[in-house]
Structure 1
Amino acid sequence: MGTQDTLLVMHGGGPTAVINASLFGAVDEALRTPEAGRVLGALGGVGGILDGRFVDFGTVSRETLALLPHSPSSAIGTSRKPLEEKDYRALAHALKREHVRWLLPTGGNGTMNTCGEIWRACRAEGVNIDVVGIPKTMDNDIAVTDHAPGYASAALYMAASVSEVCCDVRGLPIHIVIVEAMGRNAGWVTAASALADESGTGGPDLIYLPERDFDEDQFLESCQELIDEKGSGIVVVSEGLHKKGGVPVAPLLMETGRSRYFGDVSAHLARLVVQKLGYKARSEKPGLLGRASMPWQSAVDREEAVQCGREAVRAALEGDSGKMVGIERVSSAPYAVRYVRIPIEQVMLDERTLPDRYINAAGNGVTEEFRSWLRPLLGQDLPRFASFV
């Protein structure tokens, strides 16, 4: 594709509502900076690099680029391709063949590990490439940064959706409803459901996070109390919920190589309520619907994603390699942040879970400190609802 120095953006891991906003920020900044040379996107993550599949953003219209901040998922594709040491060396040489001078991997802690390993491989192989990571994850489990682009939109979706479920159950209080949130081993998205009560018609009764061992008997006891008190209840649980000793709550469904697939936590717990308590229960799992929802995209999330993309380009062109762009909170009221450059070694596969101070003493809800931390990220107030029951 030519011999001109190239800036390449790559996506890794699961999509979010604002990963394309970061892509826009990086591409727009690079196209406005002549020394960036060609500006490419790898199609399909690391596989696109190895296979030589790219989009040249210099040939894309401004009108199309302007759609990126409001487009769901990944416009250039992403992947979860597992990599070994030999793959990183192959990537270094594939990048060299394409005359890539600056690489911007965008993703979560797994992708930041890839970012660091590519950076190390390039140095070891004598390939002169500056690597700067752009954070992205709905799970919010990247270390060091106050939060990651992608999380606030997922949190807004979860709070808004649970508020609507709460209204439904309040209007017809005949069952226990269990809502399952994504987030793997970190309870950030699950915890966000607490803000559902800001719609004015109540929030979830119980919130179970993967940062605490799940006690099945205590859960059933709490559900019975809700049934006795008001005939219904809203319970929000994490997909990563586990019992003491790390035993998953849901049973194993399939095992393929190193991958293990468990059943839905919400469906399993709803079944328990029916079987053990003899009461109606149903499960709800927004899943992918909440990962990249445009109607609930947070304006704050979108703008921060754009700025992370821009800052990554600036860092790369300055030769500030082996870093990830991070968000440092300056103030919550009024809300203000600044963008920092974090050594990539500090974030490689370092999973950030919900701190103890954000979880209530009973382990089935969150604290006011968490609510205060989250509220400004949503970018808007939840809609207010009316109810007379």
Structure 2
Amino acid sequence: MKNLLIAQSGGPTAVINASLAGVAEAACVSSRVDGIMGAFYGIQGVLNEQFVDLKKVLKSSRDSSLLCQTPASLLGSCRYPLKPWREDEEEYQKLVGIFRKHHISYFIYIGGNDSMDTVFKLSEYIKEKEIADILVAGVPKTIDNDLEGTDHCPGFGSAAKYVAATVVELERDISVYPVPGVTIVEIMGRNAGWLTASSALSRINGASGPELIYLCETAFSEERFLEDMRRVMSRKKAFLIAVSEGLKDENGFYLSEQVQTEQTDAFGHKYISGAGKILENLIRSRMDCKVRTAELSLMQRCAAHIASETDLKEAWMLGGKALQCVLDGRNGEMASIKRLSSNPYMVEFTSVYSGEAANREKKVPKEMICSNGCDVNEKMMDYLRPLIQGERSVKYENGIPAHLILGENLTGKMA
């Protein structure tokens, strides 16, 4: 018997469940996969044997369709780092024992940078120990779009579509009053400004969009910021400013460190938010105008009702590609997207070794940022436009989108 185990990890997205559906549906039609299992709470749930029979969850095409329009991670998530196996082999031995106990030959992990680190470490251990009966692969996801080894990441296109739509609506709202006013929009992005850059997509139908866009790739100067403000205010009474939550000053410190503690997550990442409020207070103290901050926060990653159809399809396809990797005997691969052209938009679904993505960050290249450091250029727009195209018909029940929700009887340990 050869069973498949699937888990999800890291920050959720609007389409991470489409990748889960892509893996599961491809497995259902494969003669080389017997059982299809899901692990709750990522690799941590695997270690605790918190499994569910996905064939009991996805009983029909309607279930799969609902899963694809359900935001966040159906199987839950975790931020649990595996230590290098040469430092501590115990968890790796336990994982192999659990896989064999449940006849798991294939493990697919859906996640971002840290999740690909888990795929990499586990696959390296399997190779080093010459374990022939277990194969591991990864499916990328992250709204930050900061994974190396793939042109873009599932989840980013839908988050970018939400950001662009929200910013263009905000622009309509703030322009109704005759008094000067500034609205700062804080957008997710720790060390990569891709999502903040997507706010420029609000311009493609003729709107002005943000007058100023600040990415975390460019060192932030308060005085230069105030000069930019005065320049815009000389010609426009009300406008938007888009900023990455991970803005850093010229000394490399996050602006948010002025109000945040030194607390970090399990992978050592600092908790960041509040850059918008810091700039709001700066403007209020130095400029004579009304100012407010809109922090998009979690809505950026869970707005499945406005998901990009392109993003959904690609997330689904990458799930199937990851399964193909392990069925073909390739261990430690991450499914990925290779862009062939932007106009017309064409991609190829391929794979790279997970070591090329693990713990690496793909930042916005300088050639996509305007020389003045407060906007993006047409190269960025050419990159972004295809990723937000298309809308899937969302199923509604009682006036709100319907989601696939697991019953309590499915969320315990599998015997």
Tell whether 2:260 aligns with 1:253: yes
- One-letter code of the match for 1:28? E
Query: Aligned to 1:119, which of 115, 123, 143?
Result: 123
Corresponding position of 2:326: 316
State the shift of 1:152 in Å: 0.4
| Aligned counterparts of 1:123 and 1:160: Cα–Cα separation in 2 | 46
- The answer to whether the 8 A contact 1:159-1:195 is kept is yes
| Aligned counterparts of 2:305 and 2:69: Cα–Cα separation in 1 | 10
How many residue pairs were aligned?
A: 378
| Aligned counterparts of 1:20 and 1:334: Cα–Cα separation in 2 | 27
**Per-residue CA distance 1:119-174 (angstroms, 9 max, x = gap):** 12223445431111111111100102111111100111111111111111222253
- The answer to whether the 8 A contact 1:135-1:326 is kept is yes
Query: Aligned to 1:272, which of 278, 282, 291?
Result: 282
| Aligned counterparts of 1:243 and 1:90: Cα–Cα separation in 2 | 44
| Aligned counterparts of 1:94 and 1:161: Cα–Cα separation in 2 | 45
Percentage of identical aligned residues: 35
Corresponding position of 1:48: 45
**Per-residue CA distance 1:73-98 (angstroms, 9 max, x = gap):** 11111111233233344333332322
State the shift of 1:12 in Å: 1.1
- The answer to whether the 8 A contact 1:89-1:125 is kept is no
- Provide the secondary structure at the position in 1 that maps to 2:235: helix
| Aligned counterparts of 1:260 and 1:43: Cα–Cα separation in 2 | 25
Query: Aligned to 1:169, which of 161, 167, 174?
Result: 174
- The answer to whether the 8 A contact 2:40-2:46 is kept is yes
- One-letter code of the match for 2:100? K
Matches within 5 A, 1:1-389: 4-60=1-57, 61-62=59-60, 63-85=62-84, 86=88, 87-127=91-131, 128-172=133-177, 174-250=180-256, 251-256=258-263, 258=268, 260-380=270-390
| Aligned counterparts of 1:262 and 1:306: Cα–Cα separation in 2 | 31
- The answer to whether the 8 A contact 1:358-1:369 is kept is yes
- The answer to whether the 8 A contact 2:17-2:74 is kept is yes
- Provide the secondary structure at the position in 2 that maps to 1:78: coil
State the shift of 1:245 in Å: 2.4
- Provide the secondary structure at the position in 2 that maps to 1:138: coil
- One-letter code of the match for 1:361? S
**Bigger mean CA offset, 148-157 vs 250-259:** 250-259
- Provide the secondary structure at the position in 1 that maps to 2:304: coil
**Per-residue CA distance 1:368-387 (angstroms, 9 max, x = gap):** 01101111111149xxxxxx
- One-letter code of the match for 1:9? I
- The answer to whether the 8 A contact 1:134-1:309 is kept is yes
- Gap regions ≥5 residues in structure 2: 392-415
**Per-residue CA distance 1:253-284 (angstroms, 9 max, x = gap):** 22336564345111111111001214211000
262 and 23 in structure 1: CA distance in 2 versus 1, 3 angstrom threshold: closer
- The answer to whether the 8 A contact 2:81-2:118 is kept is no
| Aligned counterparts of 2:247 and 2:109: Cα–Cα separation in 1 | 30
- The answer to whether the 8 A contact 1:252-1:260 is kept is no
| Aligned counterparts of 1:284 and 1:221: Cα–Cα separation in 2 | 22
Corresponding position of 1:386: none
259 and 351 in structure 1: CA distance in 2 versus 1, 3 angstrom threshold: closer
- Provide the secondary structure at the position in 2 that maps to 1:104: strand
Q: After the TM superposition, list the runs of 4 or more consecutive aligned residues in structure 1 that deviate by more than 4 angstroms.
A: none
State the shift of 1:252 in Å: 4.2
- Provide the secondary structure at the position in 2 that maps to 1:229: coil
Corresponding position of 1:385: none
TM-score, length-scaled by structure 2? 0.87
| Aligned counterparts of 2:125 and 2:331: Cα–Cα separation in 1 | 13
- The answer to whether the 8 A contact 1:6-1:40 is kept is yes
| Aligned counterparts of 1:45 and 1:7: Cα–Cα separation in 2 | 14
- Provide the secondary structure at the position in 1 that maps to 2:306: coil
